[in-house]
Chains A and B, each alone.
Chain A
Amino acid sequence: MWCVEATEISQKFNRRRIFEAISFKISGGQSLAITGPNGSGKTTLIKIICQLLRPTSGKLLIRNEERIIHPHQIYPYVGLVGPYLQLYNNLSALENYTFFARIRGLTVDIQHFKQLMVRLGLQGREFDELRTYSSGMLQRMKYVVAIMHQPRILILDEPTANLDEDGSEIIYGIMEDQKKENILIIATNEPEEVKFGEETVVLNP
């Protein structure tokens, strides 16, 4: 059973205190929603959970059963979608997929790729460079590479940014799937999305 465990995390930037003493523990099959007004530090907390950022104090641990997973080993198990995470716009969708697959040590499975593209409503655009994509399509493409390796921990910062109703429906489907056995963590302001989280962390500015 995988779990993400936060103990008394607080974060300061320069002299500003962003948040303090955040604690939670999420295991496989559970989900967490992080919410709060703009500027309350949702993205900062997300980055700490991904271990992209080190908290000023406190600890963030990712475990499999009782074994702590070292930051250098989490790569195959985490998927992140966020507005600050871009893909390689000079390359096509297929080229991006190929790169992500190879660097994660997966076989490059074109069928799997096509299935993902269909699921995210991007069929027919496999060979186009990402810079020709609209912002909604880019958001969907981010999901393609974030779920392609069936991550144990899926982290979504503003899951439906740039998406229309159809796109949002697809994403909600992905979120439901993830919640079944694995960990889902989302950061959002949308009330309907906060409901996806069994546990909630509310950040105050």
Chain B
Amino acid sequence: MEKRRLSLIHNAYIVFLKDLHVEFRSRYAVNAIFLFAITTLTAISFSIGPIRLRSEILSPLLWIILFFSSMSGLAHIFVREEEQQTADTLRLLTTPNSIFLGKWFFNVILLFSLEVLIVPVYLAMMGVQVNSPGSFLLIIIIGSIGIASVATLIAAIISQASAKGALLAVLSFPISLPVLISGIHGTQLAMDGSTFAETLSDLQILFSFSIVIITLSLLLFEFIWRK
């Protein structure tokens, strides 16, 4: 029993490393997600111009950028395997959950690396003042795990469909709403300057949602992955 559990994480890590390696060579998903985020941010900043916005608007704008950037880049990890016909190869190498966890981790890292760039740029370009940086950071981190988890699960589903394009956003949006709503609300509070206690309820929802989605994914992924 012990040996099998270790091998789940171990194999997931190997899948992650492989995906990182392949992505490093082709940079497809990285390009998609970064370019989308930068383009959207530029468009927003340009259109708003010098007008200073309130946190009630700045918060949703940030999450819109993050969500739709995720939609551009996070499906690649599964779609690529199917399109390049390496999916069956992978199916014969290790258990479904190892594959899922490896790819989930990839998407989380991908989204985090986007945010390392785009969030500071956003704050600078839009002239945002974050009065509770600790809460702000925590909300973004846990919320991103939520978005990446939903996107990974839905990406697995649509990689088996034919017309993949818009499907990821259409399917992910209703499921991601708890993350978006709590994330937007919490981020706004953090921008205005709130105590940790005030953002706690949002954090609780974000955290429990991520746990639920990841657990559900581990239960359901085998059904998705096996034909």
Q: When A and B assemble into the complex, do they touch directly, with CB atoms less than 8 Å apart? A: yes
A residues engaging B (CB < 8 A)?
Answer: 47, 50, 52-54, 72, 75, 78, 80, 84-91, 95, 99-100, 102-105, 129
The reply to whether A52 and B92 contact each other, CB–CB distance below 8 Å, is: yes
Neighbour of B18 across the interface among A50, A78, A88, A129, CB < 8 A: A88
Q: Tell me whether B11 and A88 are in contact (CB under 8 A).
A: no
Q: Are B227 and A54 in contact (CB under 8 A)?
A: yes
Please give, as numbers and ranges, the residues of chain A lying within 8 Å of B22 by CB-CB distance: 88, 90-91
Q: Decide if B11 touches A103 in the complex (CB within 8 Å).
A: yes
Chain A residues, CB < 8 A from B94: 75, 103
| Cβ of B15 to closest chain A Cβ, rounded Å | 7
B226 touches A54 (CB 8 A): yes
In the assembled complex, the CB of B82 is this many whole angstroms from the nearest CB of chain A, namely 11
CB < 8 Å: which of B26, B88, B92, B226 contacts A90?
B26
13 CB < 8 A contacts A-B: A50-B92, A52-B91, A52-B92, A52-B227, A75-B92, A75-B93, A80-B92, A84-B85, A86-B85, A91-B22, A103-B14, A104-B93, A105-B7
Contact: B89 with A89, CB < 8 Å? no
Could you say which residues of chain A place their CB within 8 Å of the CB of B227?
47, 52-54
Residues of chain B from 50 to 87 with CB closer than 8 A to chain A in the complex:
84-86
Q: Give every chain A residue within 8 A of B11 (Cβ-Cβ).
A: 103
Given known pairs A84-B85, A105-B7, the reply for A95 and B92 (CB within 8 Å) is no
Cβ of B25 within 8 Å of any chain A Cβ, yes or no, is yes
Considering the complex, give the chain B residue whose CB is closest to the CB of A72.
Answer: B95
Asked, given contacts A54-B226, A95-B21, A105-B7, whether A85 binds B14 with beta carbons under 8 Å apart, the answer is no
Beyond A88-B22, A91-B21, A95-B21, is A103–B93 a contact (Cβ under 8 Å)? yes
Taking CB atoms, residues of chain A closer than 8 Å to B18 are 88, 91, 99, 103
Give every chain A residue within 8 A of B17 (Cβ-Cβ). 99
Contact A78 B92 (CB under 8 A): yes
Known: A52-B227, A54-B226, A104-B93. A99 touches B14 (CB 8 A): yes
Chain B, residues 18-30, CB within 8 Å of chain A (1/0): the string is 1001100110000
Chain B residues whose C-beta falls within 8 Å of the C-beta of A52 in the assembled complex? 88, 91-92, 227
Q: Determine whether the beta carbon of A89 is less than 8 Å from that of B84.
A: yes
